[in-house]
Amino acid sequence: MERGTRNKLASYLKLLRRYRGEVAGAYDEVATAYDDFTKVWDQHIAASALQQVNQLIEQRVKPGAVVLDAGAGTGERTLAILHQSQPVNVMAFDASEGMLAVARSKIHDSRVQFVQGDVRHLPFADHTFDVVVSTWVIEIMANPRAVVQEFIRVVKPGGVVIYAFCSLSAGAPGRVFKYVMTQATSKDGPLTHLLSERERPFHRCDYSSLRQFAGGLTTVATVSKCCTVTDEYVPCRVGEPEAVLK
């Protein structure tokens, strides 16, 4: 990886770390430059994970679906949802009005609505969306499990939550990456938080999935209405698996 690319990637990770736990417009000041950071991330680290996200969107977003892009940022995933599927409505939801302004400048589709708000407290009723998609959001939250549980609340029975996040492999790839990126950052600007296996929000059942990419640095997961992500191994909630199949 070239030094310029490495420095841009380090800046992106420091940006995420800087605003960890902040959601009320904290990204406004960097909105216009954000795509420059994420382009490097998408091309050099997250390409395989995003390919998996796009495949899941194509498979799980049925024609006429109502979709929430939770933490839509500058609208890149919203565009992917529009390109990979045929939804009737996509809600591009983000805390930063600046980020949404960039998304509006790129997306001119009557099916998309742009809404500012807090992913920790979604202003939607239970069972509102057929699919919730969220990429590179939960790892900057103080309580990632609570955020994913909120996604599960608003998805319909039979729907799915698709989410990608930065993760830390317990093996050599994770240690190598952490060392390399530590060299590219300073003590005053540490890495974004990488969710370990112990910290990640997930639930193992017949209606969920999890795959890791880039040596464990990125993770793509799906959960359904029956899932409780506070514990990977607890049984599905009573009565919910049958609803998932409808």
Domain ranges of the chain: 3-244
Handedness of CA 109, 113, 117, 120 (dihedral sign): negative
Handedness of CA 76, 224, 151, 171 (dihedral sign): negative
The reported pLDDT for the residue numbered 111 is: 98
Confirm whether pTM is higher than 0.75.
Answer: yes
Q: Give, in order, the Cα–Cα distances in Å from 237 to each of 8, 17, 48, 63, 107.
A: 43, 34, 32, 28, 38
Q: What is the pLDDT of residues 175-184, one digit of tens each?
A: 666 666 555 5
Strands (DSSP E) along the chain, which ranges? Answer: 66-70, 89-94, 112-116, 129-135, 155-166, 209-213, 218-223
CATH 3.40.50.2000: does it fit domain 3-244?
no
Lowest-confidence segment of 31-45, 181-195, 231-245 by average pLDDT: 181-195
- Calculate what percentage of the chain has a pLDDT beyond 90: 57
The reported pLDDT for the residue numbered 168 is: 81
The reported pLDDT for the residue numbered 176 is: 67
Question: In terms of DSSP bridges, do strands 218-223 and 112-116 run parallel, antiparallel, or are they unpaired?
Answer: unpaired
Instruction: Return the exposure string of 218-233: e unless at least 16 CB atoms fall within 10 Å of the residue's CB, then b.
Output: bbbbbbbbbbbbeebe
